[in-house]
Structure 1
Amino acid sequence: MKIAIIHEWLDSYAGSERVVEQMLACFPEADLYALCDFLPDSQRGFLGGKVPTTSFIQRLPFAQKMFRNYLQFMPLAIEQFDLQGYDLVISSSHAVAKGVITGPGTKHVSYVHSPMRYAWDLQHQYLRQAGLTRGLKGLYTRWLLHKLRGWDQLSAARPDVILGNSRYIAERIRKVWRREAEVLHPPVNLQGFPLSTAPRTHFVVAGRQVPYKRVELVAEAFARMPELKLVIAGDGPSAPLVAAAAKGAPNIEIRGRVPQAELVSLVQGARAFVFAAEEDFGIAMVEAQACGTPLIVYGRGGARDIVAEGTTGLFFEEQSADAIVAAVRDFVAREAAFTPEACHAQAQQFSIPEFRRKLLEVVSRDQAPPLPAFMTAEAT
């Protein structure tokens, strides 16, 4: 088979690139395409020496630092890749990659990290944060997003199979594209997060401190529960807000950014991992469960796929300190029900081998379209 893997852009080794890494592991003979490639040499290892074929965006002025500013050209650019002769195309899409044009003899499987939120349900939030609610620039951006939505919905008909990275994303795909998506959770490297059955002494929240993570709500909640110790690991632009919410409470320890080994140790020693963000999936939650650590998390987004409620964790249903306090107290009352072994077992369904197995199963499946009803045996 002749195979192509399509990714939007390559500028860092992050979440979506880890998915591409496993696609390449499944299909090492595949050709790689990307709108642009500005990966630093230190992060190119996952490509296995492949040099991707890039689009004209690679050569536009100031593209290395400003390629996202060329969003208006990306639908055109992705359609210019010549994919004649390929038997299989796999796209890794969070913007336009699913819009590649393939012929009738090519099977196209699109792994969708998320439809473009800034063009759909988060448009108004994006415009506010970018200061584009008024003026000519704001008007142009609204027009651009309007045009982009039309292309996005039209091009959603092109893949033969759409895979969403969680049930939450599958629901968004159904809402904005009117397509049904199978769920294939992203691969999580669990080897660095081994099961621990050592005594657990504290609660932990960890990760980059940015506004949508709502770490300040966790700090505010534990400031009201002086009998319970909380360790906060990570940094970011919301760090001052988090520190203010902690109010100097002696039961809250703010460590900032910590080395990976220390982070794993903190999670392994935690009574529970507390997470207040709404994520499309949520790799940090899977890593915590792999350590045998239960989860107390906001019950929206990918968390619904990750947590077995009552067995490996609990949900709170609103992003507020009051809701977190109630969930933590409920957890403490039922703590014996959450075993490290159950948490560890739950995490295994999100492992790298599971991702590879399921992806290979999908691409090898016969995807011939169903016959119209009047041509079936039942109709006769």
Structure 2
Amino acid sequence: MSKLESLRIAIVHEWFVNYSGSERVVEQILNLFPHADLFAVVDFLEDSQRGYIQHKQVTTTFIQKLPFAKTKFRQYLPLMPLAIEQLDLSAYDLIISSSHAVAKGVLTSPHQLHISYVHSPIRYAWDLQHQYLRESNLEKGIKSWIARWILHQIRLWDTRTANGVDRFVANSQFIARRIQKVYRRDAQVIYPPVDLQNYVLCEQKQDFYLTASRLVPYKRVDLIVEAFSQMSDRQLIVIGDGEQMPKIRAKAGKNVQFLGYREPAELKAYMQNAKAFVFASEEDFGITPVEAQACGTPVIAFSRGGVTESVIGLEGDRPTGVFFAEQSVDSICEAVLKFEKYQHLIEPKVCRDNAMQFSTERFLTEFYNFVKQAWENYSKEVSRRIP
């Protein structure tokens, strides 16, 4: 590790405001390279939350000081390409960006190696643009055309800045295909780290189904609730909160119980005891289905996105769940019935074993080896160019 430890390393992330999937990746990259410096568009972490970035100071952009940035920083998306380009990384040998929006767009020179771990190309600017406009009520009118023009400009910028990345890493095969589609570049797949140490196998299940996520439109919890409301003899527990809570509650039958936000320890207990975990969104990877499997709990999931790589369907030799083909109430109902018919084929121990391949230890080994090999190849290439 000594060669990499001697390098000047910068880690660039979109923004530090909470601790979710992409931040878990940054946390483990920092564990590999604790001497690295951090950069981001904004940093609004409270002191009590800064442990996962080792209480480091983060160099931010001018957006940090704009009005209402702490709560409305996403509204400054049109300025973010300009902002990220103002970060001065010229003093570093190795730049590692953790990108789902603009982080990969930092400016680098030929004597620097830029590795970008991509959680997704900018979703709302590419294949999910129409969904974004629909959910934001921006399908018609002058505001719609302004939004479409801004997203068009972001796509042009996003494509151009892909040229500044030397090596791409994707968090799933699904995202690797999206990177190929958008940037015409190959990407090494390294699944994100899932902290599974505190998820305990439980083989005795109770008679309820579980779903857990933020209650926002693309998670499609509304479809899950509608489906179980039609199956009134089955119990569904919903954990999570968000803007769609009133709308989803209005669709729920008496067999659907809303628990709101729950601390991680309590959520784990529900995961351990659930008959199955239901997952209806199209995710880049999807951490909660892996966590559920680590508890020995099967997953009923929409058959698109990263979850198809972390869950093994009934067609596999050692299944860990059941897939449904459409984001619809009928499709979810059919999948639940199918699960109940074949659930004897799904063993809790097999679910647990499947989840363990996505452990933090695996990520640390794979990502470090990738960076080491990339730096060695880069160094050899530079040496050949020097007369």
Pair in the same fold by TM > 0.5: yes
Q: 2:326 aligns with which of 312, 318, 321?
A: 318
Instruction: Write out aligned runs for 1:250-261 (5 A).
Output: 252-261=256-265
Deviation for aligned residue 1:226: 4.1
CA displacement, residues 187-240 of structure 1 (integer Å, 9 cap, x when unaligned): 111123211123443222222222222223223323343443332333333333
Q: 1:264 aligns with which of 248, 268, 271?
A: 268
Residues 217 and 245 of structure 1 are in contact (CA less than 8 Å); yes or no, is this contact kept in structure 2?
no
For residue 277 of structure 2, give the secondary structure of its aligned residue in structure 1: strand
Relative distance call for 1:366 and 1:282 in structure 2 (3 A) is closer
Deviation for aligned residue 1:134: 4.4
Q: Which residue of 1 aligns with 2:178?
A: 172
For 2:218 and 2:74, the matched residues in 1 are separated by 21
What 5-or-longer segments of structure 1 have no aligned partner? Answer: 372-380
Q: 2:344 aligns with which of 336, 356, 371?
A: 336
Aligned: 1:147 with 2:153: yes
Instruction: Write out aligned runs for 1:52-91 (5 A).
Output: 52-91=58-97
Range that drifts further, 174-183 or 199-208: 199-208
For residue 202 of structure 2, give the secondary structure of its aligned residue in structure 1: coil
Range that drifts further, 111-120 or 99-108: 99-108
Aligned: 1:240 with 2:254: no
Q: Letter of the aligned partner of 1:263 in structure 2? A: L
Q: Which residue of 2 aligns with 1:378?
A: none
Residues 232 and 254 of structure 2 are in contact (CA less than 8 Å); yes or no, is this contact kept in structure 1?
no
Aligned: 1:276 with 2:280: yes
Deviation for aligned residue 1:322: 1.5
CA displacement, residues 282-310 of structure 1 (integer Å, 9 cap, x when unaligned): 11111100001011111111111110112
Instruction: Write out aligned runs for 1:175-324 (5 A).
Output: 175-249=181-255, 252-310=256-314, 311-324=319-332
Normalised to the residue count of structure 1, the TM-score between the two structures is 0.90
Aligned residue-pair number: 368
Range that drifts further, 4-13 or 237-246: 237-246
What 5-or-longer segments of structure 2 have no aligned partner? Answer: 1-6, 381-387
Across the aligned residues of Structure 1 and Structure 2, the Cα RMSD in angstroms comes to 2.1
Residues 99 and 158 of structure 1 are in contact (CA less than 8 Å); yes or no, is this contact kept in structure 2?
yes
Relative distance call for 1:100 and 1:45 in structure 2 (3 A) is same
CA displacement, residues 38-86 of structure 1 (integer Å, 9 cap, x when unaligned): 2222211112121012222223344333333332332222222222242
Range that drifts further, 129-138 or 89-98: 129-138
Q: Which residue of 2 aligns with 1:349?
A: 357
Aligned: 1:102 with 2:108: yes
Share of identical aligned residues, percent? 51
Relative distance call for 1:197 and 1:73 in structure 2 (3 A) is same
Relative distance call for 1:280 and 1:55 in structure 2 (3 A) is same
Relative distance call for 1:353 and 1:77 in structure 2 (3 A) is same
For residue 365 of structure 1, give the secondary structure of its aligned residue in structure 2: helix
Aligned: 1:2 with 2:4: no
Residues 293 and 340 of structure 1 are in contact (CA less than 8 Å); yes or no, is this contact kept in structure 2?
yes
Relative distance call for 1:217 and 1:54 in structure 2 (3 A) is closer
Residues 11 and 36 of structure 2 are in contact (CA less than 8 Å); yes or no, is this contact kept in structure 1?
yes
